[in-house]
Structure 1
Amino acid sequence: MEDREERRAPQALYVHIPFCKSRCFYCDFTTFVKSPAAMEAYVDALTAEWDMMESPGVPLATAYFGGGTPTLLSASLLDRLLGALRRRFDFQPDAEITFESNPDSITREKLQVLRHHGVNRISFGAQAFQDHLLQAIGRAHLRDAIEEAVWAAHEIGFSHINVDLMFGLPDQTQRDVEESVQAVLDLPVDHVSAYWLKIEPGTPFAKWNEMGHLHLPGEDAEAEMYELVRERLCGAGFVHYEISNFARPGGEARHNLVYWRNEPYLASGVGAHGYVGGERYEMERRLTPYMKAIALGRRPIASRRSVPLDERMEDQVILGLRLAEGVDGDRFMRRFGRPLEDVFAGVVERLLADGLLERRGSAYRIPDAYWPVANAIYEQWIGAADIH
């Protein structure tokens, strides 16, 4: 048996910009607080890395600049970065190019630079609309900055604007969540990402939680918050197309759909992860070794791993089940040459019988009522692929 998409050319690029003004209390991403000179050196190294990358051979359909806070870079550095991107890569005419941003890091000048270079989607890390909650989680902005940033992006011509929300925060109430959702609905956004707070090891929140200093809402309250977010957004015309993501029709995050459909993508920058030719790779996570490797003319890939066939099949199913569309059995058959029902015979039958899985056309999906417990359903597929 083979993976017929293994050699498919990637049409997506992820770029990691690791700088933040300060570190949020819940964050375990690869981020650094550095000087403007360090940011300039990093942009030069990143553009040099692009020159070392093998050409994808096809125009890119999406590019995503994540972080960190990509818009912490100055307007002149953003101009340099995006000019180099356009010189190095070809893009499809309708390509989606996304920048993550924190509301306190954006200016009209920066927004104009982004638009000049074809960036057409911006994602603001709002998290909440209550100043006391923003301060409690270590954000560097307050509510007014969120609203000002979104309206500025809209006025400058961004047609696709996302706002991130978090729930399950310390001392957060149902009323806080409802107020935040309403605040988003009052803004010109076409996409909302709503995430549970996860206490990650090594973060200040992890330490404070062990000491008993975090007053978290608890699982039942979090489930009610999730349902509230879902009801309010869907009632306002948003489509709940992925377990944590909502979009007005046509506003879906095309780059993230590449991940959820288990398609290949390029990656560059400190700590970035890529997936090409059946192989997952990770870039050097530490800034100094990354910079030194570039200076020596070597692309700083820290590790590569060929993904076994059974794991690729699991990924195809588990990632696809995050989506409302589900995992397409026809595509699974085209990709792997065997029916999904064959490869995961016992799992499919059991989950269908228990009502934890349903079939719509050629796709299998998790019924809406069970999205809050989706992780327990994903676990059923791990190690269950019969590839013989």
Structure 2
Amino acid sequence: MATMQFSNERPALWPIIKRYILVFDVPLTLTLFLILSVSCTAMFSAGLDAPGRFEDHMRNTIIAFVVMWIAACVPPQLLMRFAVPLYTIGVALLIAVAMFGIVKKGARRWVNVGVVIQPSEIMKIAVPLMLAWFFQKREGVLRWQEFALAAVLLAIPGVLILKQPDLGTATLVMAAGFYVIFLAGLSWKIIFGLGVAGLASLPVVWSMMHDYQRQRVMTLIDPTTDPLGKGFHIIQSMIAIGSGGVTGKGWQSGTQAHLEFIPERTSDFLFAVFSEEFGLIGNCVLLVLYLMLIARGLFIAANAPTVFSRLMAGAITMIFFTYAFVNMGMVSGILPVVGVPLPFMSYGGTAFVTLGLGMGILMSIQRHRKLIQS
């Protein structure tokens, strides 16, 4: 009679946890680590006069990392299932904000659903997710009607966010959606026509803008017209950037920042603090890191196996570009101040989580592309 033998050997631990650890794309993770290292260095200096700010920034970084890891573990096919529900819930919450939202500093942007949330932040991911799902479902049958319907899906949350009013978030959401529509194959002729129509409609847009938004535009043109009021932010940030010179004044030695001339120095205007302390050389290093991040994201998008993953990866990558371009532009005085943070640098929990989610989706797309090919 044969005897049964049982092995006392336990399964190796590494094969079990390997699938959960090797979800990170190495080039993307390394670039992000370097940006976060620069971020922590700048935040420690900028937050010297704000007790607890650096600790909160580290907490936000850890939360964003956890969100990124979770998103990286979720396959793109599963993400597609969340597209319609997430978009629908986001639009419903935006309508709830318009009807009975919480008003802070003259803006109605928050709603209490047990906890106070800002639904417009959800749409930064929900809109490109929805549009990528939409074009995936219509692969091979794209006509002008499909692009028109996609424009409507983009316009609904965009208009609701503009009415809060929140020009900065509306810009980011509209840009994210436009990138998906463009990458789906929108004709250059249509883009040119829309550009001409946009320029022609500027007088109408100007008449519809709020007073504070018009003041931002006028301040951009000439900040010295109100140097102690609306132009104060831009003037002081430009002084800080210029005084940094080539090599900067040194870490924790920025006079504009530590004498409190730079407002919002840990959030929207952190780039001015960084420029003053690390100068042109530091700025060039930071720009190279952002370019590396964007280049890797575009590489992942170009090699994505499906329409959905390609559009989603391309849109997320261009969102990073938009964040960085708009923030550096407004701090440098070449764009209006619209409250857009510098990605993975500025203080802010919601923005960190949103960007971490986007980074995780990029890693998920790259990881599952490799699994398909193997």
- Structures share a fold, TM > 0.5? no
Give the greater-gyration-radius structure (CA): 2
State the TM-score, normalized to the length of structure 2.
0.28
Q: Where is the helix percentage greater, Structure 1 or Structure 2?
A: 2
State the TM-score, normalized to the length of structure 1.
0.27
